Amino acid sequence: MGSNRKSKLSIPVFPSSTCPPCFSEQERQHTVLQRRYADELPLEINKNKFEYALKSNEAWANYKGHQNPAFFQKLAVKQTPSILWLGCSDSRVPETTLLGLQPGDVFVHRNIANIISPTDINSMAVIEYAVVHLKVKHIVLCGHTCCGGAGAAMGDARVGGVIDAWITPMRLLRKINKVELEALGDDGKKAVRLAELNVGWGVGNLMSTWFVEEAIEERGLTVHGVMYDVACGKIRNLEIGTEGKDVVSSLARGPTEIIKGNHGVLVFSRGEPTIDAQ
């Protein structure tokens, strides 16, 4: 049985990036380079990238089989990943590639803006399977710079029916942290900070999930919150989670209004909403 402990995370404020910023001028230059690269691709690749992808896969499989004849046979027996990676669907953040790992090393769940909500049975099913059945040793929740979901959540303009509903938690985080975000001034820095706060909220939800709590206590499962910098390809540890210094168990103080659901609670304290998971 899991405890009723609720985790509230204080996310350290880091510089938005240890690499050049990925907004404004750099973003424009990146677009120019993308177009130039696309123009330089062989004509047949441009015409049918899917066919090219199939041929590339065949070449990769042949190479891996030649390099290690038992590679695929071992994978076919079972999977024993050490890491559960929870990330964004963004095509620029391919976990196995950026970690320098191999097939079988990482169990993966990705969605728009790497939102981990206790009411999302899709992500919860993946997390439960990884923790309870595969017994992964590490959970890594990764946000990233240049996140379209974070950018959309910085405003209230309608994106689309399902997407608007999906990024609602991030828009709530924006409102909760309005003063801090407004002080940053630059829209790019605001979006990066919101992405960091979203990672913190997700880590709190993870650590309040009963099977994650049990695995932490019984076998030393670790939970990490990190940010990937698209502009330089490096991961930055946010120092939150099981080994961080900023995990504080607390309840909302002051006059409160509590709205309970099946899997979580929304607490309004002095008019400001906070989210906790049961």
pLDDT confidence of residue 236: 97
pLDDT confidence of residue 30: 52
Would you put residue 26 in left (φ > 0), alpha (ψ -120 to 50) or beta? alpha
Give the integer Cα–Cα distance in Å for 52 and 266: 48
Give the integer Cα–Cα distance in Å for 218 and 214: 6
Out of 10-19, 103-112, 140-149, pick the least confident: 10-19
> Is residue 139 very low, low, confident or very high in pLDDT (cuts 50, 70, 90)?
very high
88 is in an annotated binding site: yes
Number of other residues whose CB lies within 10 A of the CB of residue 129: 14
Distance from CA of residue 109 to its chain's centroid?
9
Q: When comparing pLDDT for 163 and 274, which is higher? A: 163
142 is in an annotated binding site: no
Asked if residue 40 has pLDDT above 90, the reply is no
> Is residue 119 very low, low, confident or very high in pLDDT (cuts 50, 70, 90)?
very high
pLDDT confidence of residue 275: 43
Q: How confident is the model over 144-172, as pLDDT tens digits?
A: 999 999 999 999 999 988 999 999 999 99
One-letter amino acid of 93: V
Task: Supply the mean pLDDT for the chain.
Answer: 82
Asked if residue 10 has pLDDT above 50, the reply is yes
Average the pLDDT over 24-44 and give the result: 55
Please tell me the pTM assigned to this model: 0.77
Asked if residue 93 has pLDDT above 80, the reply is yes
Share of the chain above pLDDT 90, in %: 69
Asked if residue 82 has pLDDT above 80, the reply is yes
Active site residues: 88, 90, 92, 144, 147
Give the integer Cα–Cα distance in Å for 174 and 95: 27
Q: How confident is the model over 50-68, as pLDDT tens digits?
A: 999 999 999 999 999 999 9
pLDDT confidence of residue 60: 97
pLDDT confidence of residue 33: 56
pLDDT confidence of residue 20: 47
The CATH number of the domain covering residues in 7-40+79-277: 3.40.1050.10
232 is in an annotated binding site: no
pLDDT confidence of residue 37: 57
Q: How confident is the model over 211-252, as pLDDT tens digits?
A: 999 999 999 999 999 999 999 999 999 999 998 765 433 222
All structural domains of the chain with their residue ranges: 7-40+79-277
Return the HEC string of the chain: CCCCCCEEECCCCCCCCCCCCCCHHHHHHHHHHHHHHHHHCCHHHHHCHHHHHHHHHHHHHHHHHHHCCCHHHHHHHCCCCCEEEEEECCCCCCHHHHHCCCCCCEEEEEEHHHCCCCCCHHHHHHHHHHHHHCCCCEEEEEEECCCHHHHHHCCCCCCCHHHHHHCHHHHHHHHHCHHHHHHHCCHHHHHHHHHHHHHHHHHHHHHCCHHHHHHHHHHCCEEEEEEEECCCCEEEEEEEECCCCCEEECCCCCCEEEEECCCEEEEEECCEEEEEEC
39 is in an annotated binding site: no
Asked if residue 268 has pLDDT above 50, the reply is no
pLDDT confidence of residue 244: 74
